[in-house]
Structure 1
Amino acid sequence: MRIPTIFSGSNFANWNVRIMESSFKGQWKEVLYSCHEMSEAGALVHPSVFPPILKACTNLRCLKQGYSVHGYLIKQGLESYASIGNSTLDFYMKSEDMDSALGVFGSMKSKDSVSWNIVIHGCLDQGAFEDGLRLYRQARVAGFEPNISTLVLILQACRRLRAFHEALIIHGFIIRSGFSDIISVQNSLLSLYMDFYDIESARCLFDRIPVRDIISWSAMIGGFVQCGEAHVAIGLFKEMLSEPHVQPDGVTVVNVLKACTSLGNIDLGKMLHVFVVCRGFSCDLFIGNSLIDMYSKCNDVDSAFKMFCEIPQRNIVSWNSVLSGFVHNKRNSEAVKLFISMGKAGIEADEVTMVTFLQAIKNLVHPLHCKSIHSMVLRRGYELNKLVLNSLIDAYAKCDLVDLAWELFKRMTRRDLISWSTIIAGFAHCGEPNKAMTIFEEMNQLQEKPNAVTILSLLEACAVLSDLRRSKWGHAIAIKRGLSMEVEVGTAILDVYSKCGEIDLSRRVFDHMPERNVVSWSAMIAAYGMNSRAHDALALLAEMESQGMKPNAVTILSVLSACSHGGLVEQGLYCLEKMVQNHGFEPSLEHYSCVVDMLSRAGQLDSAMDMIKNMPEGIKAGASAWGALLSACRSYGNNELGRGAAVHVLELEPSNSAGYLLASSMYAAGRFWGNVAQMRELVKKRDVKVVAGYSLVHLENRPHKFVAGDVSHPQAFEIHAVIEHLHGCMKMDEDK
């Protein structure tokens, strides 16, 4: 655009007036059209008209024309006008050309409050928080007085940069300047204090606000949720509902839903769902996703899926939320189906989807799916995402493909503690504890400091090996790293000792734990049960209750298991009945299966069968219950009842060798050789992999494992010779 020379005569004054009027009305196209007319007519532009022209260029995104105007202003020496300089600065800032804006600002000879507000506001608005805060400091030295919008943005910058000390100084200025009564400033301060977990200051400020708006309430409710005080957040929400002039908005609802999720308060969550529908918020995608997340984490995945189906428009977060819900609630097969339908719907999986789906694959032990996801990761370029890679390593290991997990681990250019912990746990899970410990030692040599998760993985390997010497070594490392006092690590250590048969060491660790949770108590009770000390397990349960610790489902399962192995049937049944009456406990399938096992071991086969037949509605006996009954039928020679149990076991777990071996053993004991042959034929036909049993003997603090038919032990032939001799002696005693 050609800019004419300045003219002050009255002939062209009407164009200048027209530009000013159009600018006042926000008719930006008219401003530029009039400017174009003046240019074509060779009319002269007054300096006061340039700010509206630059503003028109800003609003219409006419960047080239704005650059031309700036060039003309420089040539004419008009940029020294404060209003023109500020308008140019504003044009560049709003055009997101920060370098040019800072250049204009630096060359301005006189900067007023408008200049400082524009440059600070522009930097902060574009996310250049450090530049904005630096300029704010310079402005304050120059005597600059910020406006309200700049103060709000400065406080936001302090939150982003974690500059709490700077924020306190700004708060002091706000009080001195009389801005502390402005609601937008008050709300910004509330959010800031909550972000820094300064709940006391936030609450004090909140209580002093005479008229709180919905933003004030949302800031406090969201802040308490973020600080882990979900119950306080819900209390504030109820208090807010009593305020007649305040109505919850979408942000408030989302924050309260998060509080419900944290507390597992599904009843309040359902009430909020009703409120959402009544207020017409049900079309809000953000609220819909929050409802899915709430239902999923409150173990009502059916409602979560229903909510998912009702959302008119879904995004990747919607799919990921319901997928995570299925996995979280152990409905992994449905998670697989959802993932497949996600692909059919044309939704591209992201990193979160991959990680969540790998959890389902790991739980289902699907090696083929695991490889397919790996291919997808490579195609999508997610192999640089450590979270995805760590999840993939974990899934491979849990799918018994630890060699592939190891290859993937070795190819990682950057490993974190999660990577090391995952591969160590993977080898332990796959029955290679010595390899797991070797990797841990390699990690130590690289001076990678283990954390609690790594120590837990190492202790898992020690538990698999059942080597007392190695277990003490793992315990020593935990002490050296200062992690042995953590409740999770302490629990793992006592569990390791119990699996080594050192129950007294387990109890010593338990007694020295500075903090115990329900998992610790349950683990110690299970340790007693594992080591045939059922009376001690019951005594510890009583001690646990006397200290105000409420048993959970795992605790009760541990007690029932201890009673089962100790032959304490009446005590076990009494314990379960007491838990139902005193604590409102609802037994699950695992508890009923354990009772069946307890009755079966004690020879009360009819009672065990009655328990299976009379399980509550919605609970159906699984393979573990029928397997316990089948094992007892073999031991007590009840072939008639055992036949029916065998049918159920093989029907429920056709790929598990244990059922075939139990049935075959039972038939062999009863000399039903035709049935024995039938079992062998089924194993061959169904290609069932038979897992051999083994014995573990500790000698001089070293474990010795003996598997049927295995001669890998260095003293195998000597041991077998001794066994043959002992067998002969026993035979001679029988003949006598």
Structure 2
Amino acid sequence: MVFFSTLLNHCLSLNSLKLIHAQLIKLSLCNTNTFLGNRCLDLYSKFGTIKDTLQAFHDIRHKNVFSWNIYMRVFVDFGDIKSARQVFDEMPERDVVSWNEIISGYCSTGFVYHAFSLFTEMVASGVTPSGHTYSIVLSFVPSVCHGMQIHSSLITKGVKFSSVIIGNSLIDMYCKHGCIDYAFGVFLDMEDIDVVSWNSLIAGFSKTGHKELAYSQFCTMRRTYYSPDAYTVSSVLTACSGVQDLIKGRQILCLSVKSGFLSNTIVSSAAINMFSKCESIKDSVTLFDNLGLWDSAVCNSMISSFTNHQLEENAMRVFVISVSKNIKPTEFTLSCLLSSASVFLPAVQGTQLHCLVVKLGFEWDPVVSSSLIDMYSKCGLCDAAKIIFDRMDIKDLVSWNSMILGLTFNGKTEECIDLFRELVKTGLSPDEVTLNGVLLACVYGRLIDKGLTLFRSMESKYGVKPTDTHLTFIVEMMMCAGEVNEAMKMITTLSPNRMNGVLCKLVLGYYGVEGDLELTERAAERLAKLEPMSLFPYMVLVKAYEARGRWESVARVKKVMKDRNIRKVVGCSWIGLDGGYGMVVFKENEVVHHGGEDVYSTLRLLMQDVEDESYK
């Protein structure tokens, strides 16, 4: 028996297992010896098919709780929670492992309510939960109140978090629900802490928006002589990118190089994202090139960085190279590319990506579908976007928002408002993005009454507090309706910091030259801060001063323009060629251009044809 047990312990393949199993059956040891039968069953669950595993289970004559637990785990691993629950109900005896397996199974398949009900049933049946049980349950509690009840139960039972697993799970749970004070309290109460405890705390602070606190805890961790791992470094890099602190980010990157963590794809991806969000895309490219890691996570970070900086062609180039290196694109990859595909007109590349989405089976993924809707809408193909939207089985708020904004930007204002009514009927609560789209539709459609009614009721009816963007749309609506004075009264009540770029442009455009000079100056000063290279605020100020004969002020503004190197931005248009892979750009007032003579000759012929038609 010891000999066969040793053989099974060193078994690393299905063929070896079958040879040993055959010998055990030949000697009648597998059927009669439960221990050896369980070892074979466990190995079949790891190496073999489900058929082999079930046969091994049925061959065990005297089954114990370990046999049943392994048998149930097979169905859990294959995602067949219905069969797993049937096995659980048929078990003659259950231990804490049995309960852990079925609770974990329900959690992994998305049936969180059933998992929590089973945990309650487990406690009621008198089975004492283990630390692993609590870590499973705390990972999916539906609200912080449920988590606090479990926490209170642990305190009542006298558990002082001697178990690091329980303490870490509580920290993670509280951070996940935004209660960082409670998370920090648990951390301080723990008798023993490890690197995972620090990681849970630092990552929790970073994800809940407390980036500076995450960095300070990392410094404290280093001072207490705990060695950070790759996950720690990636969390701190994410925190640095959140506050756009490039200096600290570089310091953490140097630490990761020194510690040998940069070869870890999680760390290298976080570093690329950090440089990108700190507006240092050149450093992202340099790091990506020096790494030479053609991994899915690293490529996704680089593609995302390029798209966030409007370098869509570079993003597409990285994608093409990654595919040539047999790196399978993920949902995130396709979503990033689709969000930038609208710049390639006509929508050839977008439709090619759509074909790839279908081929890879991501068509029903809500994130990818929302990106497809957004891409087709930006290309002006609203009907194609609506077809995708209607085919979606599960529509989350992002999908509704993408379709509402798509209809708005394509001038289909009535359809947008009708779709908004459908959204409300489904029971989903609209957010500020939804109302942005609907109010903008009211602006485009000159639907003043509907827009004002929605604006006045958005907080009481939908629980959305009006933002500066919402106020901007209302001001624009009122100006379009000729109620300029009323709009100006609303603007004068705002503090200068609440005036966004669009609002400033509205003030300067409708009211700038001949209106209240103090308001014009305030709007121009604010716009100059928001858009430092914009010519518009300076030109309006110049015209306003000229209209009042304030020539010294005109000279002062022009001197500021010269000192700041403010110049007129040259407008341009472009035409996509060769199926969207090439692009020809025509700058404003440009006479000399590659192939320009042919272009202008063609234009002259077209104009001549137009004139001839007008005389007929």
TM-score interval for Structure 1 and Structure 2 normalised by the shorter chain: 0.7 to 0.9
Q: Is residue 274 from structure 1 mapped to residue 152 from structure 2 by the alignment?
A: yes
Equivalent residue number for residue 461 of structure 1: 340
Determine the C-alpha separation between the residues in 2 that align with 1:184 and 1:443.
45
Per the TM alignment, residue 172 of structure 1 is displaced from its structure 2 partner at its CA by 0.9
Aligned pair partner of 1:308 in 170, 180, 187: 187
Determine the C-alpha separation between the residues in 1 that align with 2:232 and 2:167.
18
Determine the C-alpha separation between the residues in 2 that align with 1:554 and 1:526.
9
Equivalent residue number for residue 633 of structure 1: 507
Do the aligned residues in 1 keep the contact of 2:34 with 2:62 (CA within 8 Å)? Answer: no
Q: Is residue 207 from structure 1 mapped to residue 89 from structure 2 by the alignment?
A: yes
Determine the C-alpha separation between the residues in 2 that align with 1:518 and 1:605.
34
Per the TM alignment, residue 568 of structure 1 is displaced from its structure 2 partner at its CA by 4.2
Equivalent residue number for residue 336 of structure 1: 215
Per the TM alignment, residue 498 of structure 1 is displaced from its structure 2 partner at its CA by 2.9
Percent identity of equivalent pairs: 24
Do the aligned residues in 2 keep the contact of 1:159 with 1:192 (CA within 8 Å)? Answer: yes
Q: Counterpart amino acid of 1:273?
A: H
More moved, 698-707 vs 332-341 = 698-707
Equivalent residue number for residue 469 of structure 2: 594
Equivalent residue number for residue 143 of structure 1: 28
Determine the C-alpha separation between the residues in 2 that align with 1:361 and 1:310.
28
When residues 136 and 477 of structure 1 are mapped into structure 2, their CA distance, relative to the original with a 3 A threshold, is closer
Equivalent residue number for residue 118 of structure 2: 236
Tell me the number of residue pairs that the alignment of Structure 1 and Structure 2 aligns: 577
Per the TM alignment, residue 221 of structure 1 is displaced from its structure 2 partner at its CA by 1.6
When residues 235 and 718 of structure 1 are mapped into structure 2, their CA distance, relative to the original with a 3 A threshold, is same
Do the aligned residues in 1 keep the contact of 2:341 with 2:375 (CA within 8 Å)? Answer: yes
Per the TM alignment, residue 646 of structure 1 is displaced from its structure 2 partner at its CA by 7.1
Q: Once the two structures are superposed, what CA deviation does each residue of 1:68-93 show, in whole Å capped at 9, x if it has no partner? A: xxxxxxxxxxxxxxxxxxxxxxxxxx
Q: Is residue 173 from structure 1 mapped to residue 62 from structure 2 by the alignment?
A: no
Q: Is residue 250 from structure 1 mapped to residue 131 from structure 2 by the alignment?
A: yes
Aligned pair partner of 1:318 in 197, 213, 217: 197
Do the aligned residues in 2 keep the contact of 1:295 with 1:301 (CA within 8 Å)? Answer: yes
Secondary structure, in 3 states, of the residue corresponding to 1:670? helix
Per the TM alignment, residue 495 of structure 1 is displaced from its structure 2 partner at its CA by 1.7
Per the TM alignment, residue 232 of structure 1 is displaced from its structure 2 partner at its CA by 0.6
Per the TM alignment, residue 267 of structure 1 is displaced from its structure 2 partner at its CA by 1.8
When residues 632 and 521 of structure 1 are mapped into structure 2, their CA distance, relative to the original with a 3 A threshold, is same
Task: Return the structure number with greater relative CO, CA threshold 8 A, min gap 6.
Answer: 2
Secondary structure, in 3 states, of the residue corresponding to 2:192? coil
When residues 642 and 523 of structure 1 are mapped into structure 2, their CA distance, relative to the original with a 3 A threshold, is same
Determine the C-alpha separation between the residues in 2 that align with 1:325 and 1:641.
44
Determine the C-alpha separation between the residues in 2 that align with 1:310 and 1:690.
58
Determine the C-alpha separation between the residues in 2 that align with 1:711 and 1:289.
67
Q: Counterpart amino acid of 1:279?
A: K
Q: Is residue 606 from structure 1 mapped to residue 483 from structure 2 by the alignment?
A: no
When residues 649 and 334 of structure 1 are mapped into structure 2, their CA distance, relative to the original with a 3 A threshold, is farther
Q: Counterpart amino acid of 2:82?
A: E
Q: Counterpart amino acid of 2:43?
A: A
Gaps of 5+ in 1: 1-115, 614-621, 720-736
RMSD, aligned α-carbons: 4.2
Per the TM alignment, residue 287 of structure 1 is displaced from its structure 2 partner at its CA by 1.1
Gaps of 5+ in 2: 480-486, 600-616
Q: Counterpart amino acid of 2:504?
A: L
Equivalent residue number for residue 107 of structure 1: none
Equivalent residue number for residue 50 of structure 2: 164
Do the aligned residues in 2 keep the contact of 1:657 with 1:690 (CA within 8 Å)? Answer: no
Secondary structure, in 3 states, of the residue corresponding to 2:140? helix
More moved, 219-228 vs 417-426 = 417-426
Secondary structure, in 3 states, of the residue corresponding to 1:382? coil
Do the aligned residues in 1 keep the contact of 2:44 with 2:53 (CA within 8 Å)? Answer: yes
Equivalent residue number for residue 419 of structure 1: 298
Per the TM alignment, residue 667 of structure 1 is displaced from its structure 2 partner at its CA by 3.8
Per the TM alignment, residue 468 of structure 1 is displaced from its structure 2 partner at its CA by 4.0
Equivalent residue number for residue 269 of structure 2: 390
When residues 305 and 594 of structure 1 are mapped into structure 2, their CA distance, relative to the original with a 3 A threshold, is farther
**Based on CA coordinates, which of the two structures has the bigger radius of gyration?**
1
Query: What pairs up with 1:196-595 in 2 under 5 angstroms?
Result: 196-209=78-91, 212-243=94-125, 245-260=126-141, 263=142, 265-283=143-161, 284-446=163-325, 448=327, 450-464=329-343, 468-475=347-354, 477-478=356-357, 483=362, 486-511=365-390, 516-546=395-425, 550-564=429-443, 566=445, 568=447, 570-575=449-454, 580=459, 585-587=462-464, 591-595=466-470
Secondary structure, in 3 states, of the residue corresponding to 1:259? coil
Per the TM alignment, residue 291 of structure 1 is displaced from its structure 2 partner at its CA by 1.3
Determine the C-alpha separation between the residues in 1 that align with 2:189 and 2:436.
39
Secondary structure, in 3 states, of the residue corresponding to 2:136? helix
Q: Once the two structures are superposed, what CA deviation does each residue of 1:351-389 show, in whole Å capped at 9, x if it has no partner? A: 112222232333333433443333222211123323322
Q: Once the two structures are superposed, what CA deviation does each residue of 1:401-443 show, in whole Å capped at 9, x if it has no partner? A: 3333334333445513333343333333333222333333444
Determine the C-alpha separation between the residues in 1 that align with 2:174 and 2:560.
44
Secondary structure, in 3 states, of the residue corresponding to 2:159? coil
